[in-house]
Structure 1
Amino acid sequence: MRVWRVAALFLGLALVSRFAAFGADDGYDRDRGTPIWVFDHGYHAGLTLSRETLLTFGGDKSQSWLSQFPDADWFEFGWGDSGFYFEVPTFDDVTLGIAAKALFLLSDSVVHIATGAGSPWDVFTQSEGVEIPVTDEALEQIVAFVESGAQSSVPLGPGLYGVSAFYEGKGKYHLFQTCNSWVSQAL
């Protein structure tokens, strides 16, 4: 099952790579793209942006998040079912009932922001990830999308790991709108 989830994530990334600075024939130098990262943590995917990206392209919410996490070099954004996030701190805590409720009932969403210093690769050593260099135009759109996923920049409480917090999300979580689809839509 995990192989299919990873394959779907990378297929989604490939389909939206028009924003990425991959192609030699698109006139954009890949080495000049700004990196973003997507990490698969086993039961949840997150989109990671640098502090500089939020400083340069962020609006009011990003500015608030930057001030809430003054020591962060990067910010990992996850969007998902509020009950699932709060009830399932680790993959071992997943039950059939919790998973069924998250997938088959419309439920409130939250944004989870985890932060860190240094390289996100050094923190997420147990997760699969990909680095994607993107254009400034794409960064602007990605940051706007991430900000639009949160109702406000007022934290609901501490997050799941590291220096992190939860924020009230916009939209309902369900089978066809999950953390993976949210990350794909951001890209």
Structure 2
Amino acid sequence: MNKKVRQALKFTGRFLLAIVAFLVVYVLAVIICSHITVNDEPEASSDVTIFINSNGVHTDIVVPVKNDVKDWSKEILYAHTKSQDSIMKYVAFGWGDKGFYLDTPEWSDLKASTAAKAAFYLGTSAMHTRYYSDLKEDDSCIKLTISKKDYESLVQYINESFQFGEDKKVLWIANHSYGQYDAFYEGTGKYSLFYTCNTWANNALKAANQKAALWTVYEGGIFTHYR
């Protein structure tokens, strides 16, 4: 075995070892930080009802369509949904990688290029919204009541996750939806291994001064503080 081959094998071994070490540290950090609670004693209030809603992978923050703090229907137009049904009580917000959202409606549709872009800050983001007439509390849907002040902070956080056009309106991504009641909009920021859709939702709870993980990338890291 010549010197160049030995050097190549040595480099490959170190590279693979570095990847394994990174993954071990990453997983440990996710587990530890996900179980550290912040805001473990939020202010008790019944001013505004919100929900934390999960599909098992992705977490949405669900808020009233309209109250004296914010009327979301003026920005998240019913006309942007296929149903255009205006008799709705709640609207859900989720942030994520645009490629994942628009090009991967099912896990079977996932492409390696989409995953790579999402993991390494190479893609762009989108906001996904969905209207609900009502929600049912269960293990995947947690009801919270928060103060008006905390809701104002949450509204600001959600607003800052949207891109706005010159007309000061959110940028609707037309002709994309999963069903009858949802719509997509251009988002701010980029998805990565360290900042996922669930990190966004976890930070939304932090912004509203509610219980949350110190840092998490998966939905269980949020719900473990409420179950």
Query: TM-score w.r.t. structure 2 length?
Result: 0.61
Query: 8 Å contact 1:62–1:147 — kept in the other structure?
Result: no
For structure 2, the 5+ residue unaligned runs are 1-30, 165-169, 206-227
Percent identity (aligned): 26
Shift of 1:81: 0.2
Tell me, what secondary structure is at the counterpart of 1:39? strand
Query: 8 Å contact 1:36–1:47 — kept in the other structure?
Result: yes
Shift of 1:101: 3.1
Tell me, what secondary structure is at the counterpart of 1:130? strand
Structure with the higher fraction of residues in helix conformation: 1
Shift of 1:35: 1.8
Question: 2:177 aligns to what?
Answer: 159
Question: 1:108 aligns to what?
Answer: 124
Question: 2:53 aligns to what?
Answer: 39
Q: How many residues align?
A: 165
* Equivalent residue runs for 1:1-187 within 5 Å: 11=35, 14-17=37-40, 20-21=42-43, 28=44, 30=45, 32-52=46-66, 55-58=67-70, 63-65=74-76, 68=79, 70-94=86-110, 98-117=114-133, 119-121=134-136, 128-152=140-164, 153-157=170-174, 158-187=176-205
Query: 8 Å contact 2:65–2:73 — kept in the other structure?
Result: no
Q: String of CA shifts for 1:73-106, please: whole Å, max 9, x gaps.
A: 1101000000000122134444555434322233
Tell me, what secondary structure is at the counterpart of 2:88? coil
Please give the alpha-carbon distance, in whole angstroms, between the structure 2 residues aligned to 1:144 and 1:8. Answer: 29
Query: TM-score w.r.t. structure 1 length?
Result: 0.73
For structure 1, the 5+ residue unaligned runs are 1-6, 22-27
Structure number with greater Rg is 2
Please give the alpha-carbon distance, in whole angstroms, between the structure 1 residues aligned to 2:120 and 2:33. Answer: 21
